[in-house]
Every structure is written in structure tokens, then in C-alpha cells.
Amino acid sequence: MTFIGKSVKRVEDKRFLTGKGRYTDDIKLPGMTHAVIIRSPHAHARILNVNTSKAEALPGVVKIFTGKDVAELNGVPCGWQVDFKNGDTMKEPPHKLMVADKTRHVGDAVAMIIAETYAIAKDAADMVVVDYDEMKAAINMREAIKPGAPLVHDDVPNNICFDWELGSDKAEVDAAMAASHHVTTLEFINQRVIPNAIEPRSAIGHYDTANDRYTLYTSSQNPHLIRLLLCAFVLGLPEHRVRVVSPDVGGGFGSKIFHYTEEALVVWASNQIKRPIKWTAERRESFMTDAHGRDHVTKAEMGFDADGKMTALRVKTLANMGAYLSTFAPCVPTWLHGTLLQGLYTTPKVHVDVTAVFTHTTAVDAYRGAGRPEATYLLERLIDTAALEMKMDPAELRYKNFIPAFDGVKQEGYTTQVALQYDSGNYEPVLKRALEMVGYADFRKEQEQARKDGRLLGIGFSTYVEACGIAPSAVVGALGARAGLFESAHVRVQPTGKVSVYTGAHSHGQGHETTFAQIVADKFGIPLEDVILEHGDSDSVAFGMGTYGSRSLAVGGSAIVKSIEKVIEKGTKIAAHLLEAAETDIEFAEGKWTVKGSDKSVGFGDVSLTAYVPHNYPEGLEPGLDFSSFYDPANFTYPFGAHIAVVEIDKETGKVDLKRFVAVDDVGNVINPMIVDGQIHGGVAQGIGQALFEGAIYDEDGQLVNGTYMDYTMPRADDLPMFEVDRTVTPCPHNPLGVKGAGEAGCIGSTPAVANAVMDALSPYGIFDLEMPLTPERVWTAMQNSDAVV
């Protein structure tokens, strides 16, 4: 009975397919009220007056709170500290649950209406009059750091949250760059994108007066951490009296990791009014308040010797934090970006310099890939550009610079210039396979012919390595994390041999209920349907660190394996007793304990029952078969891959048609190939979205110009091709499953592949770089402005 490695169909599908999924907004509690939040229409304005009297008089309105009512409460904290180069602590201005004095981005919360129905709350919201004194806003990062720019927080000079550097000695990098035969330089914006999980965020706060207990239902990737932050930092509630439940969650992509003000507001207010309160974001609120992703302004230089060997990399980045520090914001452009700039190349000297900037815009934090897509975009755009400039083949240029294979067992891990040690890697085969799949040699011939026919075909490459399975705690602690990053798992074998597994990871599309069950069923040798997975409820799952950073299987799955091992170990003691043999003579396989070299055995069910009905039982052994474990890994895991995009550009309109997309990823061992492919597909689509369609546009007053689905281009079914995916397998050497992580890989590799393909198609025009998204107008304008005759 083996499940690991099989494309087992998902056990969670049925409830979603029959409309029985249970998302936060589906929950209706007795006596529940409904909240609507009034948000600032201005990016930067003083609040002069909030008049709620007319709204309060509307029948059905229960209560209205404004920023003044929560002024004494703490705000939501930041969970990661980065220090200035000079050692000073980063600037960490308060992020209040609602603002009373001034607003710092469009969408800042000013008041909360609580009413008997959602409709009444909406009607009341229309009756609240807020007087604002609008002020000039700091929107563009380059402008925001200049002296005299409007300040987002009065006590943060030049709007600089922190500056930070990492890598080789700066002078050595400068020298190596100066000595290079060729230097490729790119200055670009890695644009802000909006996560857009299709389920809008939702939170229900419920204070139970009779039992003095609080419950928060929230659409979160991270229920336990939300509870910790809520109790320890925001509201000072006793943690043992607070339950946080993340039921089914309709996609996260990073945006539902963070502790949001609305979560604390509904919990706090529900104690004020002694009734449950539900708040669900409208889509336009999601656009204004879900933490956004990316938003870097970067100058990147890569040096090469005459043979095309990389000599140095120098990167300087401005990273937008938005108006407030979201939970993990400072970590994204630093430890998740700077540390990945070695890529899969042997570049001997690497230096990165990051300045984090406050602006009057929505907060920016982790979005699928978080820092790694920005690092990969930078590296891979540099390489394809260098190849064009040096007239070398981009695939050959990569082969020349790949770190040689290392498995992390026989060969040591690879130590980078930017603070990491890669666990295992074998980079040539992924590119080789991707080139084979795309038919590279034939493509170049086709491209040549197409050019003669006046058609613009292009191919783009991206090879990436990423760091995921975010942990170990000691390391991330040293880097500024204010939380541990282990994972917990509890395996409870029931008396009848059925198994309940409680994981601190949270599934919001990743299929944990299937993948994790596959592991458990396999290791115990029992049917898949004998395993059930519970997650997302702090009352049933002792602790958890949630799901993000492609960590669930590598960290959470490994925690489950630890508990499984404990069960088998104890089961062996029981089996030895039942079989009247020495423990050392017992082996466990395929669901039974057997006396080695004999046909004497006892089954999983018998041992389970014995553990709970211990009439005939080893002396001194506790009854029960029930273990929890915490797993804190030795290192991050480092998946890698090669992505290739093929595009054709409509010469007359500039519209990019993505014709093919090939992805070969190595995510270590694979438990469920079907689910891994699905993760890659989704990630690739989001990465393509950034390359071709998506990007937040703020005007100079800080209005989000494209804050609805009528203006913000989401990739749709008819925008994308079928994806061609394959894998190589280089196991992770340091976790028991040998797995790495697949959630973000697609999103990390795909964006530069598409951008590179567009530049390749445009190379006859002498166009080497364009800003994303590569919209028809942008591409057409570049062709117009080119002097080349094509």
C-alpha cells in the first residue's frame, strides 16, 4: 500500500464541489451583527470631524465606533525587525485599528458601523459625514525620500523605515565590477501587484459572556499566529480564552498571512456590544487594504569576464513598505530578496543594498514568492540582457555559470555570498530538460524564418533557485523574526486504528488533507480513508505557524513524520509484548508488527486497541497512542527550476501572445504529483499576470486608479495557454521526507521568462528593457520609438 508519489485525488474536493465548503462569510452565529468600515477617500488628510449622529439614529444601527474609541488600544504589530546599517532599530510607527488624527492611505479605517443587517450598516455608512483636510501625499518612492517630501509619519525622517546591506565586502564588489570585461546594467521597477485571492477577507468576532471566551473566525493562512499577536500585542487578551478559527479559506497567496486591523476590531467590539460581529471585505476594500506585493525600484549591475563568467553583482533597491509596516513586510525585500541574489550561479562577489520607504499607499508585504520573485527577476533579466549585449546564447551563458551539482550528503551544501547555504542542487538537468521540451534548436530556426516573414517571435529563459520551508527558528530569530518558525503536529491513533492528524499548517487550496493523509496512510500501512486531517482551529490544533513560504510539507509534513515515528516506536513496545518477543526483534511494515524471520505478527488495529484497552500490556508503559511533535528544520529548503516562455508580438498593436510556457521544476521528493503540478500551474499564471497584465497604478494624489476588476487586469482563461510542466528530483537532504516546496516556484520562475521572451522578440528593434506589465501600448510605443528598421 503506497500512496507517496501517487496522484491521489483530493479528499477535500467533495465539499467544495457540492457547495458545502465553509468559508468565514458562510458562518452565521445567533444574534450576529454586521460591520461596515468607513474608509478614507484621501491618501493623506487630517480628520477634522466625524459626525455619526444621523447614522446612529437609523433604526437597526447597533453601535458606531470611530478612531477615537480605539485610540487607547494598541495597533497591530510588525513581526520582523530589520536594523539600519548603523545598528539603529527600524522605524516602526504605530498601526492603529482605526485612525483618529490623520489618514495615511486611501482605505485607512476611520469608523466602523455595526448594525442588525449588512444592508442597514451600508445605509448608515452613507450617513456618516467625515470632514477631512487633505494634504499632499508621498506616493513615488524616489520623491518620498527627498528632503521636504510629505511625511507619512511625523517621526520618520525622509520616510525611511530602514536601510540594509548584505553580501561581499562592498569595496571588493566595486573593484570586481570595475575590472569586468562587460557590465550589464538594468534600472527598473518591479511593479506593485495586488494579490486578489478570490475570497475577500472576512472576520467574525464573538465574545461569549457566559464563558468569558473570545472566538475569532477569520480568513487567514495563519490562525495561531493571529491569536498570539491578538492576545500578546494588540488587545492583551488571555490566550487560553481566545479561540481563532480559519475555516475554509478561498486562496491567500500571502495576503492572508498577516494580522489585519479588522480582525482585532471585530473581537474588541464584540466584547463592547456583547454580540457577534461579522465583517466581510467588499472587493474594492480588498484592493485598498489587503497587503500588496513587490514594488521595488532597482538598479542592478552584473559583471562578466571575456568568457562570459560572472564576476560581480551589485544591487541597489528601494522597497515600498506602504503607509504602515505589515506583519512581515521588513523581511521581504531583505532576507527573502537579498539572500537569493546568488541565484544558481557562481558569481564570486555579490552586494545588495536596500532602503525601505514609507509612502501614502496600501501596505506592502509578502505576495506569492515574497522577495524571491524580485531577486529572480533581477538576475534573470540581467542574464538574458547580457546575452543579447554580448551576443551569446542565453542558455549557454547560464550553463557556463551554474554552481556544480551537490547533493548535500556526499557533497556539502553550497555557501553563498549572501548568507545562505543551499541544501542540494543540480541545475543543468532542469535547463536541459526545458530546452528539450521547447525544442530550442528548432525554435531558433523558426524564429529566424518568422523574422524574415515580418513576425516577432521570442523566447525567454529563467532559471531560479529559491529558499522555502521558512525556518529554522534560531536562524530566522537572528535575522529579526519575532516568532519561531517551526511547525507542530499531533497524531492521534484512535482505539479502532483510525487516525486523526492535527497540523499547524493551514490549507487554503494546497490540498493538505490529501497530501498529509498520504504520508500518514503510507507510513502506517493503513487505508487512506482511515486518516483524517484537522487544521485551522486553535481549539483542536495545539499550535501552528500557518502556511506560507512554501513551508507546509517541508516543515509541517516533517512534524507529522516525527509523531508517526513516535507512534511506531511505542507500537513496537506494545507489539513486542503481545508477540512475546524482544523489541529489537520486531519490525514494522505494511501495517503490522512482525517478529523478524517469522510469520508472527500483530496488526495496526490490534496494537491501537491494546493501547486503549491495556489489559495485557507492557509494564510501566502509559496507555494511549497519541503523540504531538514540534519540528524545527536544520535549514531552509532550496527548490530550483528552469522556465521558458515563447511569445509572439502583434507588430501593429504591440499585444503579446503567450504561445507556450514550459516549466521544469525540482521541488525535491514529491508526495502527490497532481497537486504539485497544480501548484506550479497556479504560480506560473500569477507570474505571467505580473509580466503581462497586472500592476497597481497610483496617481500622484494616492488614488488607486485601477482598484476594481473593471480596471485591474486579472489573468483569465483565454489569456493563458496550456502549461507544459515536468520535474527533476533532487531530494532535500535535511528533512525526513526529502521534500522542498512547490507553492511559490511557479510564480518565481515565470515572470522573468515571459519578460525575457518579449525582449527577445523585440531585439531586432534594439529594445532590451521595458517596464512591466508589458501591455500592448508599452510594447508598441517602444517599437515606435526605435530607430531600427524591422
Residues 648-677 that bind another protein (CB under 8 A): 652-653, 674-675, 677
Q: Which of 261, 686, 730, 756 binds another protein (CB under 8 A)?
A: 686
Q: How far is the CB of 282 from another protein (least distance, A)?
A: 5
469 and 424 Cβ atoms separated by less than 8 Å:
no
Q: Which of 83, 174, 407, 719 binds another protein (CB under 8 A)?
A: 719
In this structure, what C-alpha cell is assigned to residue 593? 508488527
- Cβ-based nearer residue to another protein, 119 or 409: 119
Containing H/E element for 685? helix 673-688
- Cβ-based nearer residue to another protein, 219 or 594: 219
303 and 295 Cβ atoms separated by less than 8 Å:
no
- Cβ-based nearer residue to another protein, 14 or 181: 14
Q: Which of 272, 669, 713, 786 binds another protein (CB under 8 A)?
A: 713
The sign one gets for the Cα dihedral 106, 108, 110, 113 is: positive
Number of chain positions touching another protein (CB under 8 A): 76
Residue with cell 504561445: 659
Distance CA 384, CA 377 (A): 11
Q: Does 775 bind another protein (CB under 8 A)?
A: yes
Q: What φ, ψ does residue 597 adopt, rounded to 5°?
A: 75, 15
Q: Which of 46, 181, 445, 716 binds another protein (CB under 8 A)?
A: 716
In this structure, what C-alpha cell is assigned to residue 118? 449588512
> Which residues in 539-598 contact another protein (CB under 8 A)?
none
Q: Does 249 bind another protein (CB under 8 A)?
A: yes
Q: Does 781 bind another protein (CB under 8 A)?
A: yes
Ordered alpha helix ranges (H), 251-312:
261-273, 283-289
Q: Roughly what angle, to the nearest 10 degrees, separates helices 372-390 and 394-401?
A: 120
Q: How far is the CB of 222 from another protein (least distance, A)?
A: 15
In this structure, what C-alpha cell is assigned to residue 635? 535549514
Helix, strand, coil tally for the chain in percent (to 5):
30, 25, 45
Q: How far is the CB of 284 from another protein (least distance, A)?
A: 6
Half-sphere exposure of 540 (CA within 13 A, CB side): 16
Which residue type sits at 212? D
Q: Which of 247, 408, 605, 678 binds another protein (CB under 8 A)?
A: 678
Q: What is the largest CA-CA distance in the chain?
A: 90
Q: Does 698 bind another protein (CB under 8 A)?
A: no
Distance CA 617, CA 620 (A): 9
- Cβ-based nearer residue to another protein, 30 or 87: 30
Q: What is the DSSP string of 613-672?
A: STTS--TTPPS--EEEEEE--SS-B--EEEEEEEEEE-TTT--EEEEEEEEEEE-BS-S-
Q: How far is the CB of 725 from another protein (least distance, A)?
A: 9
Q: Which among 89-97, 198-206, 476-484, 759-767 is the span making contact with another protein, rule CB under 8 A? A: 198-206
- Cβ-based nearer residue to another protein, 18 or 211: 18
Q: What φ, ψ does residue 512 adopt, rounded to 5°?
A: -55, -35
Check whether the bond before 472 is cis (ω within 30° of 0): yes
Q: Which of 472, 509, 641, 749 binds another protein (CB under 8 A)?
A: 509
> Which residues in 42-81 contact another protein (CB under 8 A)?
none
> In 3D, which of 112, 236, 279, 85 has the Cα closest to residue 166?
85
145 and 160 Cβ atoms separated by less than 8 Å:
yes
Q: How far is the CB of 11 from another protein (least distance, A)?
A: 10
Residue with cell 516556484: 745
Give the x/- contact pattern for another protein in 93-122, rule: CB under 8 A. -------------------------xx--x
Q: Which of 6, 182, 241, 284 binds another protein (CB under 8 A)?
A: 284
Q: Does 178 bind another protein (CB under 8 A)?
A: no
> Which residues in 10-29 contact another protein (CB under 8 A)?
10, 12-23, 25-26, 28
Q: Which of 422, 427, 712, 765 binds another protein (CB under 8 A)?
A: 712
Q: How far is the CB of 23 from another protein (least distance, A)?
A: 7
- Cβ-based nearer residue to another protein, 95 or 535: 535
Distance CA 331, CA 393 (A): 35
Q: Which among 184-192, 233-241, 259-267, 719-727 is the span making contact with another protein, rule CB under 8 A? A: 719-727
Distance CA 77, CA 432 (A): 46
Number of Cβ within a 10 Å radius of residue 86:
6
The angle formed by the CA atoms of residues 690, 692 and 697, to the nearest 5 degrees, is: 65
Q: Does 30 bind another protein (CB under 8 A)?
A: no
Q: How far is the CB of 122 from another protein (least distance, A)?
A: 6
- Cβ-based nearer residue to another protein, 498 or 778: 778
Q: Does 685 bind another protein (CB under 8 A)?
A: yes
CA 295 to chain centre: 15
Q: Which of 2, 31, 170, 709 binds another protein (CB under 8 A)?
A: 709
Q: Does 222 bind another protein (CB under 8 A)?
A: no
> Which residues in 352-381 contact another protein (CB under 8 A)?
none
Q: How far is the CB of 32 from another protein (least distance, A)?
A: 11
Distance CA 321, CA 359 (A): 7
- Cβ-based nearer residue to another protein, 28 or 240: 28
Q: What is the number of residues in the chain?
A: 790
Q: Does 123 bind another protein (CB under 8 A)?
A: yes
Number of Cβ within a 10 Å radius of residue 274:
10
Query: What's the start-to-end Cα distance of the chain, in Å?
Result: 61
Q: How far is the CB of 144 from another protein (least distance, A)?
A: 22
Q: Which of 717, 785, 787, 789 binds another protein (CB under 8 A)?
A: 717
Q: Does 445 bind another protein (CB under 8 A)?
A: no
Q: Does 86 bind another protein (CB under 8 A)?
A: no
Residue with cell 488587545: 235
> Which residues in 729-748 contact another protein (CB under 8 A)?
746
- Cβ-based nearer residue to another protein, 13 or 88: 13
CA 381 to chain centre: 22
Q: How far is the CB of 126 from another protein (least distance, A)?
A: 7
Q: How far is the CB of 255 from another protein (least distance, A)?
A: 10
Q: Does 718 bind another protein (CB under 8 A)?
A: yes
- Cβ-based nearer residue to another protein, 41 or 776: 776
Distance CA 495, CA 497 (A): 5
